[in-house]
Structure 1
Amino acid sequence: MKPNLNTVEEAARFMQSHDRFLVLSHVNPDGDATGSALGVVMILEQLGKEYVVVNEGETPVKFNFLPRFEQLRNLSTQPLDETFEAVIAVDCADESRMGDVRSLFGSGAALLNIDHHPTNDGFGSINLIRTDAAATAEILYDVAVAAGVSFNEELALCIYTGLLTDTGGFRYSNTSPHVMEIASQLLRYGVKPGEVAERCLEEITLAHVKMLRLALQSLEMSHENLVASITVHFEDFAQAGAGRDDTGGLVNYCRNIEGVEVGVSFVESEVGAVKVSLRARDRVDVSAIAKQLGGGGHAKAAGCTIRGSLQDAKGKVWLALGEALGVNSNE
């Protein structure tokens, strides 16, 4: 289904026309999801609105420097006994990425869907989807302008964090002139780029290093060395003293190998469930592969969760990659 795309002005009117909101981002939130969700909160506060901001699961602690981080409610440990008639979902590539939150929606709830993923099928009542945007935070900047709110350090910090993380520190090909113009404007409000980069891109936990050491031992080359992959087994989490957050970014070590077209990480986050992350160079649109397997994302960065064993997950991914690359998996 092709979504009916709405404008930033319509999104701004949605925020202005309701009084109390449920704000959410996707499961396993990254910097863009967290920055955008809290950016929405900053806009709603200026508009004099009430809100509850939630996520199904923990939000990585490395983002705790963002304003109102302490208000992010983990629904898995803090269930909410309330329903909402106005919902704002940010950075959710499809409806399933919101997690199990439908029980919080009122019978006639209106949903504003703000996103930049090409796999988004327009699950909202209002769909502000711009696939040309580098980050959902880039779209949110334009919504804030349309809503007529004043930019300050808190709002600027949220949006800047989303831009920084989804462009890989302004290194990825999605870094457009508009992104750099926005970033330049945000710095005028007191954002300290070095500190944000240190927190979001540079600083890692010891558990991450231990997990990386284990993961690199599993490195496999396949598909005539066009694919590199690593595997994290469920028991590795206990051995490394790590949590799910500590596996973030492992896939990049695979993709960055010279000559590799697609990097893959298989993370057995629980028994019977494998989180697959895909990163590509130029030959493969990994969002199409992820969508085929029940996930979504972008042409060069996508993912999905496959129910079953690691062997099952690898078989499905190898087959899809083989078809996309036109070579066998060599396995």
Structure 2
Amino acid sequence: MKKIAVVGYGVIGKRVADAIDKQHDMELTGICDIISDWRIENAVRKNYNIYSATQEAEKEMKNAGFSVKGGMTELLDQVDLVVDCTPKKVAAKNVERYKSQGKKFIVQGGEKHETAGHSFSAENNYQTALNIDATRVVSCNTTSILRTLTALKRANLLQSARGTLLRRATDPWESHMGGIMNTMVPEKDIPSHQGPDAQSVDPELDVITAAVKVPETLSHMHYWNVRLTKKASKDEVLNAFKTSTRIKMIRYEQGLVSNNTIKEMFLDMGRPWGDMYEVALWEDMLKVQGDELFYAYVVDNQAIVIPETIDAIRALTGIIEDEHVSILKTNRTLGI
């Protein structure tokens, strides 16, 4: 039973905390943040132990009526590993603290690869993360790229891949604070950062991405053109994708014609927050023409990295050495 801390209780942090709480081989020792609003109220309702990241935050938490167990140092002293889910660039500053206290740590995809020195995707490189001190769970888009391309690679079908990403404008809960309306904003550089990011996990991938920010907040959508190693049938490709337990095949004829209908399905399934941990890939849209493959899928930017983070905890702490065992255990507890 490994003891785990979550630093940063935001969009990802609260989901990681809940996922840890569902596991039988790890314990959520506490959460740590600087906030003292409704988000911490919900953590208290779940009986999570609350720690403050700074002395000023501790005062504000106590003034708001929250019981604070201590500061970040006290929390880190109790745990085997810390999952940092703080906003972009904050984790990089926290890393020195984790190292000084001799704690294993996981950061999220907003940080650079060099922050941890290792980048993680469960179905691709679990074994390389066994018992190491730190890793970075790659971003939502990069996670989806690695899942789909790794499935094709396992089947010896992947030669090269070119993808166009339609990126959500901002997280749904922050849409009142910013985002874009009545426009689309292409990223200046090709490749966009997701392709090189995927190569930080698997340097063998021949992948180039381009991305454009669009005025919606529900999800990302990807379109891919893949050069196969040979002429293949649609069934061969589908069978390759089905080797991943975290790719969910969907069909237009099911009424799943858009990201909002897909989100509604997962809400109806009873997933917390309607979370979609899987890549939702349109089976009936997928087209194979000779040695070329075309497909599209939807990515839940708030949820897809949650199972990866749980598997990363197991790898770094050595709880489970076989990635298939860890992935299956995570899937069962999260309802995948």
Q: TM-score, normalised by structure 2?
A: 0.26
Q: TM-score, normalised by structure 1?
A: 0.27
